[in-house]
Structures are given as structure tokens and as C-alpha cells.
Structure 1
Amino acid sequence: MREGQTEDPGGPLEPLAGKHVAFLSWRDTRNPEGGGAERYLEKMAAGLVARGCRVTIFCAAHAAAPPEEVVDGITFVRRGSKMSVYPAGLRALASGRLGEVDLVVDVQNGMPFLSRLVTRRPVVVLVHHVHREQWPVVYSGATAKVGWWVERRFAPWLYRRCQYVAVSRATRAELRELGVRGPRIAVVHNGTDPVVPVDPGKSAIPVVAVVGRLVPHKQVEHAIDAVLALRDRHPGLRLHVVGGGWWEAELHEYARSRGAGASVVFEGHVDEERKHEVYERAWLLALPSLKEGWGLVIGEAGMHATPTVAYRSAGGTRESIEDGRSGVLVDTPEQLTETIGRLLDDDEERGRLADGARRMSHAYTWDQAQHSFALVVQAALSRVHVDSQDPADPQELVSKRRGTGWWWRRR
């Protein structure tokens, strides 16, 4: 059997070496608005390059990177804006400007690229989470209604014969609710990057961190409210907000209007070393996001023994956090405040969660994720659908073969 080839119950899968995989994504990691979804995308692309694939990422143009470049074997083609990237991607794929493509990965961040309309090549739909709650938060009126209709109705119909990849079982369940039927949703979790070494030790004063893009659905206001409600009880308490985004000015104004003063520190965009310094110094990470497919920051903080308090309803947090062991899941802003206050008071409990957070951060690796994603791509190239069932161990990446994790069905 050739290298890069895998056996399945119906025969050998298509080898990956020499295949051209095109990712259609609205952003890349160098985009100022890029985040965890883009980090996942580029990690999966790198895994395919390591297995002999030619990989192109088509994404929106921005001032922080050239229109075209090759980085670590991945060709980046940047055209269009936040919205026009979608028709630009379709034109590039349909016209052949991306070259001869063997497989398309259509990254559906609420809005898919609708690549199925212009190609007969296999399409894998990558979904981090369903945007039911986010459409009315980010957009208003008809735009939100049309966007949700496309995600809820049109996309499941258009991709009805396509393979899906979800980053969590919560996202897979949401896709099932939208009508994505049959054994064709593979779960490929995120990994965690190796820790960036910084001077060890927690801050002498209580510090809570928020790390991520500053956009409305991240609900950073909830973390600001929690810290301001607790600062009399915890003198010197600080909230460090790491990241930037188009909602940043509104958050600055919100903090000012609440009289936050020195209690809230906006770090802005920082380099990796500073980000990890914040993780290391923080006593807790707050993740009050409305929705998370997984939550990369949870594992990053866990590498520094910093447990996370997050909303259970966000979805992927129910898998990236072991509730009561590596962090705490809550249901309301009031519970977020109460839990943060309780953990700041209780050194022993916080230490126990810190140990669990560090252990949990090592449970998911990018090597595992890349291997699983490559299996999905191999199967899709061979016109085989892949599905995954829940693992017996919640920390076990769903990356096994038929009978123990993967289910294979030839189309």
C-alpha cells in the first residue's frame, strides 16, 4: 500500500500526495479580524501539505498581507472584502484561476461560499458552529433574516450530498437540527499550540483575562460587569482584555461609562509572548461568548494552569471544558459574576481547577486533528462519507476507524 493511502471497508482510499485542495474562507490568520477559526483552518491546511497535498487558501484581501503569497507551502490568494470575497471565491473556482482543484473545503462561517454551484469536485463543508443566535446580534432586519435562511435552509439543501466537518459534537448536533442528515458529519476537534515560555507565576493581585476578537457576540461587556461588581470585594482586581476588532471602540466607551478606570486594561493586538504572559499571570480566563465552536483560548489558558469560566450555552465549551474539573460552566451573567468571585476567594478550589485545566490542555493535539482531517479528505476524494460517533472518553479525539469511532459509507 502506498504512503498516504488508507484502507476502509470498501477498499483503499485515494492517496493524498499530489492532490490539490482549495480552502474557501472569508479570512486568514493575518487578517486583523482573524481568530480561532482561521487558526484551525491553517493548521488543517498545513497537515495536508505535510502529507503531500498542494493547498490553496482563498480569502478576503486586507492591508496586512499581499494579494498572493506562499507561506509554509500554502498558497494564499486574497481577493475581495468581507462580503465580496464570496462571489470572488466562486469566480476564482469556476474560472480555473485557482488551477485544477481535486477537492474544495468550503468554510461556512454562517455564510457558505456556495461552491457546490460551480464545481463537480468533492466538497467538504467545514463548520465551527451554527450562527442562529449571532445573525440578529451582528446584523439587523432583512440581512439577518436572509443570512439565517441561507444557513438554515439553503445550505443544507445545496450540500445535501457533501461531507461535513464539525469541530465539536455540539456543532454536529446543531447541524443535525438544520437537516444535515445521514452519516456524513465527522467531528475533528481543535488542538492546542505548544506553550510559549514566559516568566512563571501568577499575579500578586487578582487578574481575570479575556482573550479574543472584540465583536458583539463575544459579550466582553459581561466580563467587564463581573469585574466591576467584584472589585470592592477584591481590591486591585483587574480585567485584561487581549485582542482587537470592530467592536473595540464600543467596549472602551462601555468601560468608561461604567467608571471602570484602571480596573479594565485593554491590551489591544499583542504578540504571542505578551498573550501568553497574560495567560500566565491571570488567575482565571473569562469566556462570556454567546457561541463558540470550540474555544481555542481555553486550551491556551490551560497550558498556563489558568481555568476558564464560560457559558454552557455557547456549545463547544461543553467539550473543551470539563465542568467542575478544568473550569466552570455557567448559565447567566449573574452566575458568571458569582462564580468568578467564588473562585477568586477560594485558592484551593482554583488550584484544583488549574491542575485540571493544564491536564485538559494536553488532551487535544494538532497532530491528532490533522490526522483526522486528512482521513476525511481522503474519504471525500474517494467519494466515501465519514461519520463519527461520540467517544467513550470525552477527552478522546474522534479519530478511530469503523466500530470504534469512524463510520464509513461509500456514496
Structure 2
Amino acid sequence: MEVWEDLRGRDVVVLSWRDTRNPEGGGAELYLEKVTQGLIARGCRVTVFTAAYDGAPVDEVVDGIRYVRRGTKLTVYLEGMRALRRGDLGDPDVVVDVQNGLPFFTRLVTRKPVVVLVHHVHREQWPVVYPGLTGRVGWWLESRFAPWLYRRSRYVSVSEATREELGELGVDPARVTVVHNGTEPAPLTAPGKSPTPHVAVVGRLVPHKQVEHAIDAVLAARVVYPDLTLDIVGDGWWRDELHAYAAAREAGDAVRFLGHVDEETKHDAYERAWLLLLPSLKEGWGLVIGEAGMHHTPAIAYHSAGGTRESIADGVSGVLVDDKVAFTAALMELLGDDRRRRELGKEALSMSHAYSWERAQDGFAQVLCDVIHRRRPLRSLRSARQRERVPVGRR
């Protein structure tokens, strides 16, 4: 029996901090939107509970998915537990608990099977975003309490790196299935790279994305490449601090903040850029890497970010470095080597095609199907890596 037949008519409830329409939504929310759309296509009924935000309906149906929005980015957890316990979200066959640092503690209020979706472990982020006691409590909840609470639940991670980190927290790796992100085909854009050296950062403007590292690298490289410019695409609560940082560094017209843009403008930025800079402290996968790859744009990122070790084939489709000094050095080297950049861009395109949302939807649906029917988990659903073309450096 096919997976979609096994799931037809099933009710799935998802609890997530944000949805894609939230101004702070990012790659994690896009992943959730894609896999839930896959569940709808397979005949499921899906309800997503998430935080409210200005201008958003408290209840709406989009592409067959019911959205219920209550609470703020902090109170959403309590509101979600309350709604699930009272039955406001229906009578689910399975619950998906999206753990973005904190889970929704659904195991405390339901006896239905729970699947925990984790993009990455927030070990390094807690002290950056919440210094002091708040961060220590948050890390204890993520690293100690959550693994105990969900000790009998299945997990989905988006990379082997996250799976390994969950294992370090005591989550049995046999209960963690890897379902990689996909990459959306790029829309048509005006072809061609910028005639002068140009790079881009794309993503939410929050502290752990470390956009300051990109600004510093660009300003250092301008000593050799005085025409070099940086576009920063995206928005977030760290925006004002980044503007102040660029001003203090006297970045001037070297750095341009584009803010939150539409898809066409975002892909135009990828197309024009010679390189994508991703100095993020942590990435479960790094969706922007694949999006940039669709435009022959390779990325420079940190090896220690985790998921980047899988979304970038180091030295083949992009470059992974260990620190800020190496980040700047890689930028300067690639700006001066057109042939090398083109080679990396070609493999970045190939890499972006190796991961599809259809495979991700199949993999996620398979996990829910196994949980509902109490089948033993697979160690990993490496469908994209096994069945689709992967650059030679990945084999």
C-alpha cells in the first residue's frame, strides 16, 4: 500500500512557533509548509497551531491547511498546550511538535503519538540570544528535560549533523529519521552576474546569523577590491543593531540593506551575487544555500554550523571555513579567481537539484505513517542523496 493511501483521512496537528507568513518566518517555516502541503496531497487533514502576529487572521485555511494562531512568541507554548488538551485542534491521529529550541511539551497533554521535528540544537544560540539565567534555563529544557519527556517519541531532523547532536543529548539515534530539505526551482530572473564584485547575505536578521561577520569580511576585502558591495536581504528584530554596526564601521554604500523582499527580488539578489555569505552560528541545513545554488552562486559558510557540512560539498559546491579570519580569506581568494568561482557555481547548481521537496514530502509522510501504524523506524531517509544526482565530491 502506498504511503498516501495509508494516510488518507488521517488528522495531523502541528504545533510550531511561527508560520511562513509571520514576519520572522524563515527556512524552518518553509520546510513545515512544504511537508504539510505534502500531507494534504496525500489525503490528510492538517491543522497548524502557531503564534499570532499583527495583521494575521486568528483562524484561516490556506492551501487546505487550517491555521490557528494564538499567543505571542513566548506564550504560544502555553496556548498550544491548552488548545491541544481542550480539543480545540481536533482529535489528531498524530501530533507534530516543532522544537525550535523549546518544544511544545505536548507529551504532557496528549496520549496521541508525537513526532518531534528538530532543525538544529540551540546549544550555542541560547547564551547569544538570551544571556544569563534565561538562556541557561532554556538550554536545560532543551538538552535535559525535552529528551526525557519525548524519550518514547520519534524524531525527524533535517540533517545528519542534527541527528548526531540529538544523540549527544541522549536521544536514541534509532528514533531519529533524517528528512532533508528540498530546493524550490528558481523563478526566471534577469540573467547575469554583477559586472563588479558583489556578494549577498540572505536570511533573518537575528544575532546568531552573525551578519556582522559578513560586513567585516566585505570591508576588509575592499582594500583589494574597492568596488565590492554587499546586499543584505531579509529583516528581523536585530535590524537596527546591524544598521548601527554598519554605520559605526563606516560601511557607507558598500553595504545595502534591502529588507524583507518578494521572491522575485530575492532571486534577483542571488543571480547578481558572485558569492553567498552565510556566517551563521548554526544552521540545521541552510535553505539559502540551495536557493543560491540555483543561480550558480556558491556559498561561504562555517564548518561548525552543522547542517552546512551536508548542504555544501566543501571545496566542490562551496567553501567551509573555521573562523572569521578564514572567512575573509576565502572571500578574497574567490573574488580573485573567476575560474574557481565558476567551477563551484556549477556544482552548487548540481547540488541544489539533488534535493527536492517531493522527496522531503515522501520522507516526512513515511515517518508519520510508520508512527500511526507503529512500524519500526528507519535510521535515515536519505532519499535525495541515494536516488538523485549528487556532486562527485559528495560520494
Q: TM-score range by the shorter chain?
A: over 0.9
**Residue 386 of structure 1: CA displacement?**
1.4
Aligned: 1:4 with 2:4: yes
Matches within 5 A, 1:324-343: 324-343=315-334
Q: In the alignment, which residue of structure 2 is the partner of 1:264?
A: 255
Contact 2:363 2:381 in 1 (8 A): no
For residue 111 of structure 1, the aligned residue among 79, 102, 110 is 102
Q: Distance in 1 between matches of 2:308 and 2:385?
A: 13
For residue 229 of structure 2, the aligned residue among 230, 238, 241 is 238
For residue 51 of structure 1, the aligned residue among 42, 56, 59 is 42
Q: Distance in 2 between matches of 1:395 and 1:338?
A: 31
Q: Distance in 2 between matches of 1:395 and 1:208?
A: 29
Q: In the alignment, which residue of structure 2 is the partner of 1:172?
A: 163
SS of 1:180's partner is: coil
Q: In the alignment, which residue of structure 1 is the partner of 2:206?
A: 215
Matches within 5 A, 1:155-170: 155-170=146-161
**Residue 3 of structure 1: CA displacement?**
7.1
Contact 2:200 2:232 in 1 (8 A): yes
Letter in 2 for 1:4: W
Contact 2:179 2:381 in 1 (8 A): no
For residue 386 of structure 2, the aligned residue among 372, 377, 396 is 396
What is the TM-score when the length of structure 1 is the normalising length? 0.92
**Residue 63 of structure 1: CA displacement?**
1.2
Q: Percent identity?
A: 64
**Residue 382 of structure 1: CA displacement?**
1.1
Q: Deviations over 1:162-193 (max 9, x none)?
A: 00000000000000000001511000000001
Q: In the alignment, which residue of structure 1 is the partner of 2:265?
A: 274
Q: In the alignment, which residue of structure 1 is the partner of 2:70?
A: 79
**Residue 397 of structure 1: CA displacement?**
6.7
Contact 1:21 1:104 in 2 (8 A): yes
The alignment's C-alpha RMSD in Å is: 1.4
Matches within 5 A, 1:285-300: 285-300=276-291
**Residue 314 of structure 1: CA displacement?**
0.1
**Residue 64 of structure 1: CA displacement?**
3.7
Letter in 2 for 1:339: A
Matches within 5 A, 1:184-199: 184-199=175-190
In structure 1, the gaps of 5 or more residues are: 6-14, 399-411
Q: Distance in 1 between matches of 2:256 and 2:114?
A: 44
Q: Distance in 2 between matches of 1:30 and 1:110?
A: 20
Contact 2:354 2:384 in 1 (8 A): no
Letter in 1 for 2:386: E
Q: How many residues align?
A: 388
Q: In the alignment, which residue of structure 1 is the partner of 2:393?
A: none
Question: Cα distance 1:44–1:2, how it changes in 2: closer, same or farther (>3 A)?
Answer: closer
For residue 368 of structure 2, the aligned residue among 374, 377, 381 is 377
Q: Distance in 1 between matches of 2:205 and 2:251?
A: 18
Q: Distance in 2 between matches of 1:182 and 1:213?
A: 30
For residue 126 of structure 2, the aligned residue among 128, 132, 135 is 135
Question: Cα distance 1:372–1:3, how it changes in 2: closer, same or farther (>3 A)?
Answer: closer
Q: In the alignment, which residue of structure 2 is the partner of 1:401?
A: none
Q: In the alignment, which residue of structure 2 is the partner of 1:19?
A: 10
**Residue 389 of structure 1: CA displacement?**
4.5
What is the TM-score when the length of structure 2 is the normalising length? 0.96
Q: In the alignment, which residue of structure 2 is the partner of 1:201?
A: 192
Question: Cα distance 1:389–1:29, how it changes in 2: closer, same or farther (>3 A)?
Answer: closer
Q: In the alignment, which residue of structure 1 is the partner of 2:392?
A: none
Matches within 5 A, 1:21-36: 21-36=12-27
Question: Cα distance 1:261–1:242, how it changes in 2: closer, same or farther (>3 A)?
Answer: same
**Residue 326 of structure 1: CA displacement?**
0.4
Q: Deviations over 1:112-163 (max 9, x none)?
A: 0000011111100000000000000000211111100010100000000000
Aligned: 1:227 with 2:218: yes
Q: Deviations over 1:20-53 (max 9, x none)?
A: 1011001001101100000001111000000000
Aligned: 1:348 with 2:331: no
SS of 2:88's partner is: coil
Question: Cα distance 1:139–1:326, how it changes in 2: closer, same or farther (>3 A)?
Answer: same
Letter in 2 for 1:396: Q
Q: Distance in 2 between matches of 1:388 and 1:70?
A: 34
Question: Cα distance 1:3–1:85, how it changes in 2: closer, same or farther (>3 A)?
Answer: closer
Letter in 2 for 1:337: T
Q: In the alignment, which residue of structure 2 is the partner of 1:360?
A: 351
Q: Distance in 1 between matches of 2:384 and 2:29?
A: 25
SS of 1:81's partner is: coil
Q: In the alignment, which residue of structure 2 is the partner of 1:120?
A: 111
**Residue 396 of structure 1: CA displacement?**
3.1
Contact 1:168 1:316 in 2 (8 A): yes
Q: Distance in 1 between matches of 2:214 and 2:120?
A: 22
Which structure: greater helix fraction?
A: 2
Contact 2:355 2:384 in 1 (8 A): no
Q: Deviations over 1:294-325 (max 9, x none)?
A: 00000000000000000000000000000011
